[in-house]
Amino acid sequence: MTRGHGAHRPANQRGKEISRAILGLTWHSHALRLRRPSRGAKRIAAEQAFQFKKGRMMFRVLHIAAKFILGTMFTVALIGHFSPAQAVSFKVLHSFSGGSDGCYPAAGLIRDGTGKLYGTTAGGNGCNCGTVFELVPAGSETVLYNFTCGDNGQAPDDTLAMDKKGNLYGATIAGGSIGCGVIFKVTPSGREKTVHDFAGPPSDGCAAQGTLIFDGAANLYGTTSGGGKNGYGTVFELSPDGTETVLYSFCKKIPRCTDGAYPLAGLTADPAGDVYGATGYRGSRTNSGTIFELAPDGAETTLYKFKGSPNDGSLPEGSIIEDNSGNFYGTLFVGGRGGCYGDQGCGVVFKLAPGGAETILHFFTGKKGDGANPFGSLLADGAGNMFGATEFGGGRNVCNGSYGCGMVFELAADGTETVLHTFGKGNNGANPSGNLVADNARNLYGAAAQGGVYGFGTIFEITP
């Protein structure tokens, strides 16, 4: 669906239909979904009223930015009902040891047609430079590649993308020739190649912050949270031969940056070649971020400017998803009616209609079992239900200075929220901070960035 300026352009000017390159996934989707650096250092939104604690290792996740086609329209109240945790099956598939298997799986997972899961850890052997791993359904993990903290990159921060040959693509937020990170490719046999080495401003981006998406011609698209002409982030395209084109540099009018700054989430796209994404900062006087559209000719349109607390939210961390009526859905890390991060609110789930009208579907409270600070993209089924995770909340356990170690939730079409699992008990992990992925049987898979038997994170399965 084309919006804004794109309404009068010939469809499909690039002649490329954006498509998911993940094989075997049947939960209606068309693109790929979205990230993560040290939160204290990389969370650009620290310029806002809330500050993240430094000195502890926290990550921002690149979530798969999938464009899910929902089978029904959502009809939800402004504030969804709340339902306590229901009885579901939960299983830890792998606990990271901090040794050769890596540590801190800060990004989301992808799944191939055979049921294998693929992901990244921010730390590698000895929690150093990061890994790319494979996990078979039975729980056996294989490290496909260990990063070396050199020119090949450091700290892979994205949910991976997979091409038709099974090659994995992703980004690191550091390393490379000047420290701005790289785009990499890992073959099924574990051979790694640097596809692009970010050169930084003013001609290139720095610190890729969103999962890559493919078009039909095998071009890759993504975002960087820094760099570009103005230093506030970019949207870029990589051709199959590795040639990069910066399609847009944010913050055209400094210091106002009405077009937004620091795109922290990944992209989604329509068949006409328009891409959609979010910025984590600026846009309006509240500095709460934006939703944007980028046409194939590079023209940018700001579709919505978030207003912050108490009636809206700030800091879109996950990619937006879209239904077949053109409505966008997503999460905001903070916002709502008090509590969490200096009373900035515990985050929200939102809906954005084609005309630009926003509806808050759920205000997180961090109280009475509810979660706080949703981190990642939503996952939708064909019945209008959405699934996601919050990094904090869900209980009274103290995790990284905040109450609650996170939870996985379901938001029904009528706005009812159900807690599927609460973290922080035993060795099940803590702080789920990436996207969820599902199999044909509706089992959910995800990563908890910390906790587990050794304290270095887990991969889990939930059967609703």
Q: Is the dihedral of CA 220, 223, 224, 230 positive or negative?
A: positive
Q: What is the pLDDT of residue 114?
A: 92
- State mean pLDDT over 418-433: 90
Asked whether residue 182 carries a pLDDT value surpassing 80, the answer given is: yes
Looking at per-residue confidence, does 247 or 82 come out higher?
A: 247
How many angstroms separate the first and last alpha carbons of the chain?
A: 32
DSSP 103: B
Please give the pLDDT value at position 66: 31
Contact 43, 326 (CB under 8 A): no
Backbone angles phi, psi at 46, to 5 degrees: -65, -15
Which structure tokens are listed for 111? Answer: 């799944």
Work out the pLDDT band at 78, boundaries 50, 70, 90. very low
Measured between alpha carbons, how far is 279 from 292 in angstroms, rounded to an integer? 8
pLDDT tens-digit readout, 446-461:
999 999 999 999 999 9
Indicate whether 357 belongs to any domain.
Answer: yes
Query: SS3 for 41?
Result: helix
The answer to whether position 205 is within a domain reads no
Query: Which range, of 70-74, 200-204, 335-339, 353-357, averages the lowest pLDDT?
Result: 70-74
Of 424, 425, 418, 420, nearest in space to 445 by CA: 420
Q: Which tens digit of pLDDT belongs to each residue from 237-268?
A: 999 999 999 999 999 888 889 999 999 888 99
State yes or no: pLDDT of 80 exceeds 60.
Answer: no
Q: Give domain status of residue 9, yes or no.
A: no
- Please check whether residue 229 lies inside any domain of the structure: no
- Domain limits for position 95: 18-127+245-463
Question: Can you give the pLDDT at residue 22?
Answer: 22
Q: Which residues pair with 169 in a beta bridge?
A: 161, 185
Q: Enumerate residues 6+ apart whose C-beta is below 8 A from 319.
A: 33, 34, 63, 64, 65, 66, 210, 211, 265, 266, 267, 268, 277, 278, 330, 377
Q: Check pLDDT > 80 for residue 14.
A: no
| Secondary element (H or E) of residue 220 | strand 220-227
pLDDT at 72 over 90: no
Tokens read off for 22 = 């993940």
pLDDT digit string (tens) for 208-239?
987 889 988 899 999 999 999 999 999 999 99
Provide the pLDDT for residue 382: 82
Query: What are 170's strand-pairing partners?
Result: 184
Supply the pLDDT for residue 3.
58
**Range scoring the smallest mean pLDDT among 5-19, 159-173, 273-287:** 5-19
- Measured distance CA(451)–CA(430) in Å, rounded: 5
Assess whether the previous peptide bond of 255 is cis (omega < 30° from 0).
yes
Angstrom distance (rounded) from CA 213 to CA 210: 9
Number of CB atoms found within 10 A of residue 462's CB: 20
CA 374/CA 399 separation, integer angstroms: 15
Per-residue pLDDT averaged across 193-207, rounded?
Answer: 96
Label residue 414 by pLDDT band (50, 70, 90): confident
> What token pair was written down for 24?
């075997």
Q: What is the mean pLDDT of the chain?
A: 80
CATH number at residue 286: 2.120.10
pLDDT at 86: 52
Taking the C-alpha atoms of residue 117 and residue 65, their distance in angstroms, rounded to an integer, is: 17
Q: What is the mean pLDDT of residues 120-143?
A: 88
pLDDT score recorded for residue 23: 23
Closest CA to 252 of 236, 232, 237: 232
CB 45 within 8 A of CB 39: no
Tens-place pLDDT, residues 270-309: 888 899 999 999 988 889 999 999 998 889 999 999 999 9
Between the alpha carbon of residue 384 and those of residues 53, 378, 410, 436, the distances in Å are 37, 12, 11, 16
Report the b/e string of 101-122 with b at 16+ CB within 10 A.
bbbbbbbbbbbbeeeebbbbbb
For residue 439, being part of any structural domain is answered with: yes
Q: Is the pLDDT of residue 373 over 70?
A: yes
The tokens for 287 are: 């500095």
Number of helical H runs and strand E runs in the chain: 1, 37
Q: What is the pLDDT of residue 24?
A: 25
252, part of any domain: yes
Q: 320-357, pLDDT tens digit by residue?
A: 999 989 999 999 999 988 778 777 899 999 999 999 99
Our count of domains for the chain comes to 1
Q: How far is CA 247 from CA 4, 140, 204, 293, 303, in A?
A: 18, 41, 10, 12, 18
User: From CA 49, how far away is CA 287, in angstroms rounded?
Assistant: 10
Cα 103–Cα 107–Cα 111 angle in degrees, nearest 5: 105
State the amino acid at position 104 in one-letter form. Y
pLDDT at 37 exceeding the cut of 50? no
Is 253 part of any domain? yes
The amino acid at 412:
A
Does any domain span residue 77? Answer: yes
Q: What is the pLDDT of residue 199?
A: 96
